[in-house]
């Protein structure tokens, strides 16, 4: 199984650590995993012309372009976002908007995904953030295999929580084991 893992945090913190752990879990089941940290990619948001929905061609060419092409060829996705104002980070939202060319005819249908959300307040406040990612998957016809939300504020909180690391690893394993 080929998996693309994406962290939507602008800092080197919890999402990043949990994505790496989930990737290790997936690799332990034989999956090939490539990780993309959105904070390291120079990319723009959607230009808004929406022609891409019909012709499948994104007019914006930047460092997200090859990532989208890789997703087209992968079997599974790991998506992690920090909870910002009860939603995904701006980086993650900009990334999601750039996937509009793949929506029509559900070009990503049949892929599977695992999602993680990290927030500093309550787990309850992460519900809408998870919902945004769920809706994104649903629009693309991607099947949700597992979802976790983590309570963490400081950038090293997840790193120091063995239970969180175990849960992230299991999520990755489960995704890799989810065969068609
Ligand atoms: C702009 C901003 C908005 C935030 N909004 C929320 C929020 O609405 N709910 C919440 O639980 N945490 C919120 N947080 C806290 C982050 O979700 C938390 O620090 C999380 O651990 C960040 O994940 P990261 O380490 O992967 O960046 C916010 C943080 C920032 C910087």
Question: Which tens digit of pLDDT belongs to each residue from 125-156?
Answer: 899 999 999 999 999 999 999 999 999 999 99
Mutate to test the pocket of ligand 1, among 10, 19, 82, 91 (most ligand atoms within 8 A of CB): 82
Phi, psi of 20, deg, nearest 5 = -65, -40
Residue 135: CB within 6 Å of ligand 1?
Answer: no
pTM score above 0.85: yes
Q: What superfamily does domain 2-177 belong to in CATH? A: Flavodoxin domain (3.40.50.360)
> Is the pLDDT score of 180 beyond 80?
no
Q: Distance, CA 111 to ligand 1 centroid (Å)?
A: 28
- Average pLDDT over every residue of 54-58: 95
**CB-based contact 31:176 (threshold 8 Å):** yes
**CB-based contact 43:64 (threshold 8 Å):** yes
Residue 174: CB within 6 Å of ligand 1?
Answer: no
Give dist(CA 17, CA 148) in Å, integer. 14
Domain residue extents for the chain: 2-177
Structural tokens at position 81: 């976002």
- Which atom of ligand 1 lies nearest, measured to the CA of 82? 23
Residue 83: CB within 6 Å of ligand 1?
Answer: yes
Helix segments in 28-103, DSSP class H: 51-55, 65-73, 90-97
- Which atom of ligand 1 lies nearest, measured to the CA of 157? 21
3-state secondary structure of 5: strand
Give dist(CA 39, CA 16) in Å, integer. 10
> Is the pLDDT score of 179 beyond 90?
no
Residue 84: CB within 6 Å of ligand 1?
Answer: yes
């Amino acid at each position: 199984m080929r998996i693309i893992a994406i962290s939507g945090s602008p800092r080197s913190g919890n999402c990043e650590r949990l994505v790496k752990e989930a990737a290790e879990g997936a690799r332990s089941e034989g999956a090939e995993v490539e990780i993309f940290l959105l904070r390291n990619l120079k990319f723009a948001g959607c230009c808004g012309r929406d022609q891409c929905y019909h012709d499948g061609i994104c007019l914006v060419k930047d460092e997200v372009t090859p990532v989208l092409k890789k997703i087209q060829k992968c079997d599974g996705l790991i998506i992690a976002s920090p909870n910002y104002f009860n939603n995904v980070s701006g980086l993650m939202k900009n990334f999601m908007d750039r996937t509009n060319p793949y929506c029509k005819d559900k070009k990503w249908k049949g892929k599977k995904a695992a999602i993680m959300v990290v927030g500093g307040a309550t787990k309850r406040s992460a519900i809408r953030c998870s919902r945004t990612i769920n809706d994104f998957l649903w629009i693309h016809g991607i099947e949700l295999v597992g979802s976790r939300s983590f309570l963490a504020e400081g950038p090293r909180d997840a790193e120091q929580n063995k239970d969180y690391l175990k849960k992230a690893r299991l999520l990755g394993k489960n995704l890799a084991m989810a065969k068609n």
